[in-house]
Structure 1
Amino acid sequence: MTTIELNPPPQEDDKEAAIIAGARKAFLAKGFDAASMDTVALMAGVSKRTVYNRFRSKEELFIAAIMDTCRRLLPVDIEAIEASLPPEEFIRQMARRFLRAILEPEAIALRRIATFEAGRTAHLGRAYLEHGPRWLVKTCAPILKRLAERGALRVDDAEGATWRLGALITEPLYTEVLLGDPPADIEAAVDAQIESGLSAFMRFYRA
């Protein structure tokens, strides 16, 4: 059985990758407000000037950290993998990898930071939404559209179907973890959530 292996996304250069990694560490360690460009530079092992040459503000760095996290969820050769697996198994493997990734402590912490900041600075919340969940939906919707064209699914609104799939394969497990009440056996909970959500999705969308 083919297993989906994911690769980190390419960056402009090694220093940019280091800066984004440093920014993520700074935000996770100190929160958005307390993290400074000096802290980012220190954690990235570069000069403050180097940080500013690539990113003009903490907001840009926060968006870059979100985008980097999301791009790591998708394989580089996704169309080849899609063609090599039966449609339902392909969706299952992608869903499992996605759910495990968003339940990682760093991903949960970034979501908490964005949710907190959205109440004070709305544009940061919108940035997280646009470069996180909405980007993933827009990127993954063509996959469901292709599966529909192959006759595996019955989908009229690919983006709407992607949102529904995301909800079915994540809830209530994601909210439980986000709010500090994870199950004792997280792997068993992930498997149960995926099978339950995928079963409901396929009942509605199977061709």
Structure 2
Amino acid sequence: MSRPTPPASNRPVPPTRVAGPGRPKDLGKRAAVLEAAKRMFTAHGFDGVSMDQIAAEAGVSKLTVYSHFGDKDSLFAEAVRAHCEQGMPTRLFEDGQDAPLRERLTRIGLAFHAMIMTPEAIAGHRILCSPQVAASNMPAVFWEAGPQRVQSSFTALLERRIARGELDIPDPPRAAAQFFTLLKGEPHAQAVFGYCCGQPQESAEEHVAGVVELFLRAYGTDPAHRARRP
């Protein structure tokens, strides 16, 4: 004798495949939040912006902002990371066997100089120098999210060039820090202070070329680098 068929409402429902979370939509919202955060941090500083305001600027809910970034510190760090990745993508440090050393250093130098001289970067530097932020953990968050990533990638490139005999550097991490410090130089300090000296400004190309020349004279193994004069 066959078993009675249970009512439709009591029948077990076969498992169904759950639709994906809509990644393009989520990534679009995430990008919108990052762009809104960069604009607002630049215009109002870190303490002058709330997560509610960023959500409103991005056109999303506050819950969406928190679900993607957790808190304002993390959002600021991610905005810094995104800015650095946009200005100095990882591929910039990928080293082909046929890439001339001077050309590679110049490309990296120009990209770095352009990145740090944007209004967003100058505003971010001023934010970090404010007493409230300087006394918090934000400088460490900023350093690890931005400059440390760039310097680590550049250090790895230097180590590859050392292995190929093109550079003689006893301390690659220190040399990487020296390179980027030289690239900042006087132009960046003047931009942060909002100071215009009234004198003709050296072009970015001239500034970077001078830094690369100095770096190669200090660490390059090619005698032509050491003998070369501006």
Per the normalisation by structure 1, the TM-score is: 0.85
Larger radius of gyration: 2
Q: For residues 120-145 of structure 1, what are the alpha-carbon distances to aligned partners after superposition, in whole Å with 9 as ceiling and x for unaligned?
A: 53311221122222221112210111
Q: 2:204 — aligned with what? A: 190
Q: C-alpha distance in 1, partners of 2:83/2:93?
A: 20
Q: 2:110 — aligned with what? A: 96
Q: Tell whether the 8 Å contact from 1:55 to 1:61 is kept in structure 2 after alignment.
A: yes
Q: C-alpha distance in 1, partners of 2:144/2:165?
A: 31
Matched, 1:105 2:119: yes
**1:165 offset after TM fit, Å?**
0.7
Q: 1:179 — aligned with what? A: 193
Structure 2 residue matching 1:171: 3-state secondary structure: helix
Q: Tell whether the 8 Å contact from 2:84 to 2:146 is kept in structure 1 after alignment.
A: yes
After superposition, residues 119-198 of structure 1 pair within 5 angstroms as 120-182=134-196, 188-198=202-212
The unaligned stretches of length 5 or more in structure 2 are 1-25, 222-230
Question: What amino acid is aligned across from residue 139 of structure 2 in structure 1?
Answer: G
The unaligned stretches of length 5 or more in structure 1 are 1-11
Bigger shift: 132-141 or 158-167? 132-141
Q: C-alpha distance in 2, partners of 1:101/1:135?
A: 14
Question: What amino acid is aligned across from residue 206 of structure 2 in structure 1?
Answer: A
Q: 2:99 — aligned with what? A: 85
> For 2:86, which of 43, 58, 72 is the aligned residue?
72
Q: 2:20 — aligned with what? A: none
**C-alpha root-mean-square deviation of aligned residues, in Å?**
2.1
Q: C-alpha distance in 1, partners of 2:126/2:69?
A: 23
Per the normalisation by structure 2, the TM-score is: 0.77
> For 1:205, which of 198, 214, 219 is the aligned residue?
219
**1:176 offset after TM fit, Å?**
1.4
Question: What amino acid is aligned across from residue 118 of structure 2 in structure 1?
Answer: E
Structure 1 residue matching 2:183: 3-state secondary structure: helix
**1:119 offset after TM fit, Å?**
5.4
Structure 2 residue matching 1:77: 3-state secondary structure: helix
Q: C-alpha distance in 2, partners of 1:26/1:76?
A: 26
Structure 2 residue matching 1:34: 3-state secondary structure: coil
Question: What amino acid is aligned across from residue 136 of structure 2 in structure 1?
Answer: A
Matched, 1:34 2:48: yes
Between structures 1 and 2, the one with greater helix share:
1
